[in-house]
Amino acid sequence: MKSKKSKIEEKELVVKSRTENLSDIREFVSQGALLIGLPAKVIDNIILAVDEACTNIIKHAYKYFPEGEIIIRLKFSSEKFTVIIIDHGVPFKPETIPDPDLQRYYRQHRVGGLGMFLMKSLMDEVKYVSVPGKYNQVLLSKKLSATH
């Protein structure tokens, strides 16, 4: 009753923290985004951002522990498409990860931070909150009006 103005719909997927589930996650996000008729290019970007977020969770929050839970929740409103990804692993601070400097990585044989950078570049909004000992949430959103 309260949300007559902007119709909000939600979809949820719960998967185990395994890289093999990444394709299911991408499929789920893709289906969800198709429902509200986003352009293919935008959907591709959202899928990649969610993939990166989940990869981070599997690697860093759960440290490849295969029985962790990842909850992916899609929210559609007239203004934006929001993905909230919840995990119960080790919190990490996305702000502390600097944008990647490829030249430096090249020299240091290091690979990392690319995912975070991609998420920030591909989405309009990337937010992270951690309630220590409880859960972590990553929020990704894409404005619908600004996509052309």
Partner 1 sequence: MAEFSTSTKDVGEVSVIYLQGYLDAHTAPALENTFSNLVEKGKYQTVVNFKELAYISSAGLGVFMAFIEKMRENNGDIKLSSMNDKVFNIFDLLGFPLLYEIYKTEDEAINKYIESKNLEK
Partner 2 sequence: MNFELSRLKINAKFQFFIGAAIILFFFKFFIPSSENTVSLIINELLVGITIASFIFFLMEWIHIKKVNPLSLVMNIGILTALIFFFIIFSNPLLGELSSRTQSAPLRFDLIYSLVSFIYSTIILGSVSYIFLAFRELYFLKQKRNVSTYFNTMVVFIILSSYSTLLQQNPDLLYIKDTFFIITILLVILNSIKISWIAFIIKKEKKILLFLSIIIAVLFVLNLAGNSDSSTNYQILTKFSPAFLQFLKINMIYGAIYFSILFFTTLFHIPTAEAFDRKAQEVSSLQYFSKLITEVFDFDDLVDTIAEIASKVSSADASWIAWKDNDVLKSIGNKSIGFLDADLLTTYAKDTKKNIEVSGTEFLALEKFQKKLQLSEPFYFISFSPLKMHNEAKGFLFTARKNNFAFDDEDKNALDTFSDYASVAIENSHLFEESIVKERLEKELDLAREVQRKILPAKNPDYKDLNISSVFIPAFEVGGDYYDFFEIDSDNFGFVIADVSGKGISAAFIMAEVKGIFESLSKTIRSPKEILVKANEILQRTLDRKSFVSAAYGLIDLKNETLKISRAGHCPVLLIRNNIAENMKPSGIGLGLNFTEHFANTLEELKIDLEENDTIVLYTDGITEAKNKNLEDFGSGLFEKILLENCDRNADEISNKVIHEVTLFSQNNPQHDDITLVILKWKQILKNDGEKEWQNSVLQLKT
- Tell me the CA end-to-end span of the chain in Å, nearest whole number: 32
Q: Which of 25, 46, 86, 119 binds partner 2 (CB under 8 A)?
A: 86
**Residue 109: contacted member of partner 1, partner 2, none (CB under 5 to 8 Å, by partner type):** partner 1
Q: Binding of partner 2 at residue 48 (CB under 8 A)?
A: no
16 binds, among partner 1, partner 2, none (CB under 5 to 8 A by kind): none
String marking each residue 6-25 x if it binds partner 2 according to CB under 8 A: x-------------------
- From the list partner 1, partner 2, none, pick the one residue 114 interacts with, judged by a Cβ distance below 5 to 8 Å according to partner type: partner 1
Stretch that binds partner 2, among 43-51, 58-66, 99-107, 135-143 (CB under 8 A): 135-143
Rule CB under 8 A: is residue 84 a binding residue for partner 2?
Answer: yes
Query: Considering only CA atoms, which of 96, 108, 17, 101 is closest in space to residue 56?
Result: 17
Residue 23 binds what, of partner 1, partner 2, none (CB under 5 to 8 Å, by partner type)? partner 1
Q: Please tell me the distance from the alpha carbon of residue 59 to that of residue 37, in angstroms, as a whole number.
A: 32
Q: How far is the CB of 59 from partner 1 (least distance, A)?
A: 7
3-state secondary structure the chain: CCCCCCCCEEEEEEEECCHHHHHHHHHHHHHHHHHCCCCHHHHHHHHHHHHHHHHHHHHHHCCCCCCCEEEEEEEECCCEEEEEEEECCCCCCHHHCCCCCHHHHHHHCCCCCHHHHHHHHHCCEEEEEEECCCEEEEEEEEECCCCC
The residues that touch partner 2, with contacts defined as CB under 8 A, are: 2, 6, 73, 77, 79, 84, 86, 127, 129, 131-132, 134-135, 137, 139
